[in-house]
Structure 1
Amino acid sequence: MIKKIVLLLVILALASCSSSKPAIATTKKAADVQTRTASAKRTAPAKPTAKYPSTNNTTEVIQSTSKTVVTSDLINNYVLQYKDIAMGNMKTYGIPASIILAQGILESGAGRGDLAVDANNHFGIKCHNDWLGESVRHDDDSAQECFRKYPQASESYRDHALFLVGKKRYATLFTYEKDDYKSWAKGLRAAGYATDPKYPDKLISYIERYNLHQYDCQVTGRNYVPINTSVPPKKSSYDVASDPKINMNSNDPNLYEVQKGDTLYSISKKFNLLVDDLKQKNNLTDNAISIGQRLKVK
């Protein structure tokens, strides 16, 4: 009987020791894992934030349908986000990818402008009579104009291509080479896409500063040669003093000097005029005005 009791006690003691060991082993393993994880976190290299790191992250103001402050890094990231869509549209519709991206940057403020944020409208396309989709109201040449609204940005890119292909006034563009971005930039302005006389220069500047022509070359299979943007651009030959619209008597009370942020619409409201009357008084053929320009308002 005593032997049975002793044997039972030995079995119970062995069982107790056996059950306590896994807890110790598990605790040690967890500690090892935590140590290794912490060490890995300390030694792991930081992930890059962009494929095109900018050595000089400059800031600029993009003035289109809204005034937007952007950096060069934001523009690079915008290009990375939409370059594949632009190249796809180039293959399908024949519009240079560089032009598509440059217009996207300029018209949407690199995706940060009001229309891009509120309506996914990256190209400033207004409703026109044939638009059946959603729309938003936004001040541009006139107050609360109708602009197209899209469910997503890719639809804006597609509609931009269809807009150029479907309008007769842009037909001349498609006679240019697919990768002739300079002719396309000038042709867009000539066809009436924008009223800003500097519109072509702005598009070309974005294309050459951000190497957007490389995406044209990826589609056409041609070799891409980067533009040397370290050379300062030539000074514009435009002379304000020689402009007949500006060279007027500065003391004339019937004249108004255009200020930063002015539009023909805002000036017409200030002097209780119609935009058409203001244009007629100053022999203007479009809505383009320049800071410092003097307009007849009486």
Structure 2
Amino acid sequence: MKKTITLFILLLTSIFVKAQSTEDYIAEHVNHAQELMREHEIPASIILGVAIHESAAGKSKIARYLNNHFGVKGSNNSTEIRSAYRDYPTVDSSYNHFVSFLHSRSYFNILFEKYDQYDYKNWARGIQRGGYAHSRTWSAQVIALIKKYELYQYDERPDDYIEVVIPAVELERKAVVNSRKSRSSIVKKTSFYTIKKGDNLNKIAERIGTTSAALMKKNNLKSATLQPGQKIKL
């Protein structure tokens, strides 16, 4: 009887996964992507485009079993699959951690100062230059997804916004310089976060998909009280 029920559940899950289209995925997650855009000034189209690319629009195993929609490696507590990718308590926490991850690396954090929330093409190319993915065509694939599903419509661009055009020669030169970098080398580095006024441990933990207790243990903190300017490991 238990086997029959299990097979039935697996069948329903399979049907649901097949039924969910990319458009369904976008509709489900666009609001949170826009919330992150308004808070951090990173294009919602980039957040959604990368998530669609890395998670196969929520259909990949790590998305379904680990709530991991950005291909971030790390430990997990899953008993359902064996994976080198980290798990998250919710899909939203995976989205939150993606933005937090970009902030925590100097070669990504500079993008927040260099590009605005409307310039999805340069954001995609900048993330690739930082070594987020092995493939040299990664940014082109993300940009293609953004165009195909018109994700730029969620970036709240002004009517008179004009896209910045980068010469192809310059793009190729930058791609060659950074081609040796890979995501695996990035995720192994310890990331740090500088405490700002108004921050608290619970809020930071929720944003990166972990718990305040885990952060305290990782940083050998005896108290959850934080001071502006203090650096903690994420």
TM range (shorter): 0.5 to 0.7
CA drift at 1:113: 0.2
CA drift at 1:173: 1.4
* Superposition map of 1:51-200 within 5 A: 74-127=21-74, 134-135=76-77, 146-174=84-112, 175-200=114-139
Distance in 2 of aligned mates of 1:211 and 1:84: 15
Sort the Cα spacing of 1:160 and 1:167 in 2 relative to 1 into closer, same or farther, 3 A.
Answer: same
1:223 has 2:118 as partner: no
CA drift at 1:177: 1.8
Contact 1:213 1:224 in 2 (8 A): no
Larger radius of gyration: 1
Contact 1:125 1:147 in 2 (8 A): yes
**Percent identity between the two aligned chains:** 33
Distance in 2 of aligned mates of 1:207 and 1:87: 14
Sort the Cα spacing of 1:119 and 1:93 in 2 relative to 1 into closer, same or farther, 3 A.
Answer: same
CA drift at 1:224: 9.0
Q: Please tell me the residue identity of whatever aligns with 1:285.
A: R
Contact 1:89 1:95 in 2 (8 A): yes
1:285 to 172, 180, 184: 180
Aligned to 1:10: none
Distance in 2 of aligned mates of 1:186 and 1:75: 23
Distance in 1 of aligned mates of 2:88 and 2:160: 34
Contact 1:93 1:165 in 2 (8 A): no
Distance in 1 of aligned mates of 2:109 and 2:182: 23
**Alignment partner of 1:177: what SS?**
coil
Sort the Cα spacing of 1:158 and 1:285 in 2 relative to 1 into closer, same or farther, 3 A.
Answer: closer
Distance in 1 of aligned mates of 2:70 and 2:182: 18
Contact 2:132 2:182 in 1 (8 A): no
Contact 1:105 1:111 in 2 (8 A): yes
Deviations 1:88-108 (CA, angstroms, capped at 9, x unpaired): 000111211000000010000
Q: Provide structure 1 residue ranges, at least 5 long, that are not aligned to the other structure.
A: 1-68, 226-283, 289-298
* Superposition map of 1:3-42 within 5 A: none
Q: Please tell me the residue identity of whatever aligns with 1:223.
A: D
Name the structure, 1 or 2, with higher relative contact order (CA <8 Å, separation 6+): 2
What's the Cα RMSD here?
3.0
Q: Which runs of 4+ in 1 moved over 2 A?
A: 134-137, 284-288
Sort the Cα spacing of 1:190 and 1:115 in 2 relative to 1 into closer, same or farther, 3 A.
Answer: same
Distance in 2 of aligned mates of 1:126 and 1:118: 14
Structure number with higher strand proportion = 1
Say how many residue pairs are matched.
Answer: 149
Distance in 1 of aligned mates of 2:40 and 2:18: 30
Deviations 1:207-250 (CA, angstroms, capped at 9, x unpaired): 11101001002xx5x1399xxxxxxxxxxxxxxxxxxxxxxxxx
**Alignment partner of 1:203: what SS?**
helix
Contact 1:135 1:147 in 2 (8 A): no
Aligned to 1:238: none
CA drift at 1:161: 1.0
Contact 2:52 2:58 in 1 (8 A): yes
